[in-house]
Chains A and B, each alone.
Chain A
């Protein structure tokens, strides 16, 4: 296995529960910085639960619990205030979810506005433009910034959500099947965007789509029934899997 020099996340014996059900079993992994890591595996294997541990959204589910350690750089996030963790670890969801009561402009600034932070107009404009440019949405919406975000197409809404997450300058961006609700063209735009974004931010993306993982990810983590059974550079995992279960999944024996 290739040596990872810089890692941003490091979990030690991470277990996650829903009540008595153990959804994530003893996961120990290091996630490399400023790379795209794909989290793959069959349905119900704990992919989404895993990334929801990383921004502590998992614990919002009633009866949910996390044990073990999750280090963000050298801080154990399970001992931090979840609000601070979530400012550093942003998230994009499966279905686009812009705030329906806000304009495009307000949606991008939601991370500030909802906290009650008042930005000087110049700075606010700069943050909005910057985030929308990073999310490759600026050219399409720069003239309609004060319309509701929900008027945009699904793909545009998803990029708006990416801009909203980027606006608070997170170190990590978690993406939970961000293209599964989108058409092929919008999917391609988001994939290109992800490759572009890894220069500034670490991306951890849950995906069901193997070709997509092959196209955009540098590393792949393969989960099976809550266990992490394989982790490594995507090219290696895809061409030469060590675990027979990974190979079976990749060749379509189960899904």
Chain B
């Protein structure tokens, strides 16, 4: 058929290309900040990274050098302890929601509470942990920081555990029950192991989220210029180092704050990538 309006048709094609171009550009904008952040960090902080930076303790103000070994250890301890506190509770709550509570009123109440808890500002969580743990103990401690971080972690892990366990096919539950296995054993030995990779992914994402939290640690773990491995003493952590150094009047501390930022960002990035790999493994199994 003869095309009677070639000019109009060309204009349509051109419009299509223009719109596509704009949309692609807009889609790239959200990725831009990440690369800018990484560039900024490496640009400003790379020079402060050295083996000493990882192995040494902070130097007193005015003295050059010093490292953040205590903050790296502290972050690992505080986050590790938060995981130990938060994960068992969360997994049990997730199991309850998916396998027992289901559509009951209590289950709905638990779900709503978890969602609301997830929305509580982290500074408020910090104050609450101060009132619950720091005040009764009489001093700042890593443990109180872990409690605050665990509170932030719980809702994430509860909901992912529930979602993952719901995806375990019912025919596996029936297979186990038909063998005469009690329901609780079926849940712990069939349903949970089948969903374990997914649960682990959820835990890693939650750890990545809390590792960089600063506000909950300000009046709990507090910070410490010295090395300590004792969780009932005040302890340093990477976000605290960044906060304290960046707000200090010393130029070489600003420099070290950038270095600590690189360490923290790459820790979180590694956790995110690890959880991606695990998530892909689940997708591959199906």
Which A residues form the contact surface with B (CB < 8 A)?
A: 55, 57, 60, 83-87, 90-91, 93, 95, 97-101, 110-111, 113-116, 161, 164-165, 168
Contacts and interface: CB of A to CB of B under 8 A. Distances in A.
B194 A111 contact: no
B180 interface: yes
12 contacts: A55-B178, A83-B181, A86-B177, A86-B179, A86-B180, A87-B179, A87-B180, A99-B176, A101-B193, A101-B196, A110-B181, A115-B181
Contact of A97 (B175, B180, B181, B196): B175
B174 A115 contact: no
B179 A99 contact: no
A115 B175 contact: no
The contact size tier of chain B is 20 to 34
Given A101-B194, A114-B185, A57 B174 contact: yes
Contacts of A95: 171
Contacts of A91: 174, 178
A168 B175 CA distance: 13
* Residue among B176, B177, B179, B193 having the largest count of chain A Cβ atoms under 10 Å: B179
Contacts of B194: 99-101
Contact of B175 (A55, A84, A99): A99
Contact of A100 (B176, B180, B285): B285
Interface of B: 169, 171-172, 174-182, 185-186, 189-190, 193-194, 196, 285
A115 B180 contact: yes
B134 to A, nearest CB: 43
Nearest to A88: B180
A116 B189 CA distance: 10
A97 B190 contact: no
